[in-house]
Amino acid sequence: MIRADAFSTRSPRAEDAGQPGGDRITLRFLASTTDVTANGQSVPAGRVLEWIDNAGYACAVGWAGTHCVTAYVGNIHFTRPIRPGDLVEVHAQIMLTGTSSMHILVTVRASDIRTRQYQPALHCIVIFVAVDGDGTPCRVPTWHPATVPDLELQQLAEERIELRQRIQAVMQAAHYSGEATSPSILLRFLATPADVDSSGKVHGGTVMRWIDEAAYACAAGWSSESAAAVYAGGIQFRHPIAAGNIVEVHARLIHTGPHSMHINIHVQSAPVHTPNNLTPTAQCLSIFVQLDSDGHATTIDPWVPASDADKKLDTHALTLIELRNELPAIPPETEARNHRGRGYEDVRP
C-alpha cells in the first residue's frame, strides 16, 4: 500500500505550514480489484482504514510542515460497501488544532466509474500529533475557521473532546484475563520494512489494517466468512512499532446483539530479542454483522457470558454503546459542504 506522503517530492517544511488552502486535501483513485473481502464483493474495512490514515496524514503534514503521527481515530461507521473498481474520493480537512495536535475530519465517498454519482461511505475524526526529528511533539500553527461550515466543524470537534476522553478511559480500563471464556484469536508476526515510514515506525493505517484482520477472523469464527465490519472506534495509538518488532494482535468477542458482534482488539509489540517484554501499542472496538446474499444483516447466535471476566467485558461493551450514543453527530449537510470545499459565507474578521 502506497502512503499518501510517498507522492511528495520533498519533506514537509516549516515555512510551508499553515498556508492558505493547506488545511484540506482530496485523494481520488480507483479501488483495486485485488482488494476484496472473502466473499469477493467489497473492499475490506482494513484497506479503507489505510486510506483514511493516508489522507489524514497528508492533510496533517501539509498544515504542520513537519512529520506527524496518528494518535486517535474515532467513531467510524461503514455505511455502504465500496466495490473493487469503484472511483473513490477521500477528503481530509482540519477541524481544530491544539498545541501540537490536529483534529481532522476524513470523509470517504465512492462511485461507479460509469455514473460518477458519489455516495458517502463513511466519515470519522482522526487526531494527529506533529513531531520533530527526535519524535517529540512540537507546536503547530493555529487553525482559524474561515467559513460558517468551518466554524461548525470546529465547534463539533470541541464538543467531542470531553466525551472522547471518557471513552478512552473506559477502554483503557478494560483488561483480558485468563478467566475470560469468550471466543478470541491471536495473530503473531514480525513488522516488516514495508510496513514502516521514513522514521522506521509502522504507519497508523497499517496497524488499523492488522486490527481489522484480527477482528474479522474473530467475528467470522463466531458467525461465518460473510462477516463484515460496520463500525470501528476508540482506536488509540499508545506506542510506536518499529520494523523487525514482534507484533501481537489479540481480538476477543465481548458482546453480541441480535445482529451484531462487538470485538475488542489489543495490539502489543516487543523487540525481537526480548519477545516477552510486550508493550501495549494500540487498541480498538469493532462491530461486525453477518450478511446474507442480498447484503442485509442476519440474526446471529447470541454469546452468553459465563465467567465473571466475561460479564465484565459484556458490561464494558454496553457502557461503550451508551457513551457512543452521546456523541454529537456530524450533520450530513456539514460533511457534504466541506467535501465540496470553500465558497460559503466568510466568518473571518
For position 134, which CATH number holds? 3.10.129.10
Average pLDDT on 108-131 reads 94
Q: How many helices (H) and strands (E) does the chain have?
A: 5, 11
Contact predicate 65/123, CB 8 Å: no
Structural domain contains residue 167: no
Name all contacts of 176-180 with Cβ < 8 Å and 24+ positions apart. 176/250, 176/252, 176/266, 176/309, 176/313, 177/309, 179/307, 179/308, 179/309, 179/310, 180/252, 180/307, 180/309, 180/310, 180/313
Q: How many domains does the chain have?
A: 2
* pLDDT of amino acid 176: 67
Q: 167 vs 163, 217, 318, CA distance in Å? A: 6, 25, 12
What predicted TM-score, i.e. pTM, was given to this entire model? Answer: 0.87
Q: What is the 8-class DSSP label of residue 303? A: P
| C-beta atoms surrounding 51 within 10 Å | 25
Q: Give mean pLDDT, residues 21-42.
A: 83
Residue 195: DSSP 8-state:
G
- Mean pLDDT within 115-144: 93
Question: For position 12, what pLDDT does the model report?
Answer: 44
Length of the chain: 349
Task: Give per-residue pLDDT as tens, 46-84.
Answer: 999 999 999 999 999 999 999 999 999 988 999 889 999
Residues 179 and 110 in one domain: no
CA dihedral 265, 269, 272, 275 (to 10 degrees): -70
150-179 mean pLDDT: 87
Domain that holds residue 195: 174-328
Residue 293: pLDDT band by 50, 70, 90 thresholds?
A: confident
**Three-class secondary structure of residue 217 per DSSP:** helix
Q: Judge if 291 and 189 occupy the same domain.
A: yes
Residues 105 and 71 in one domain: yes
Which has the closest alpha carbon to 49: 21, 77, 28? Answer: 77
C-alpha cell of residue 2? 502506497
Q: What pairs with residue 96 in β-bridges?
A: 103
Residue 244 lies inside a defined structural domain of this protein: yes
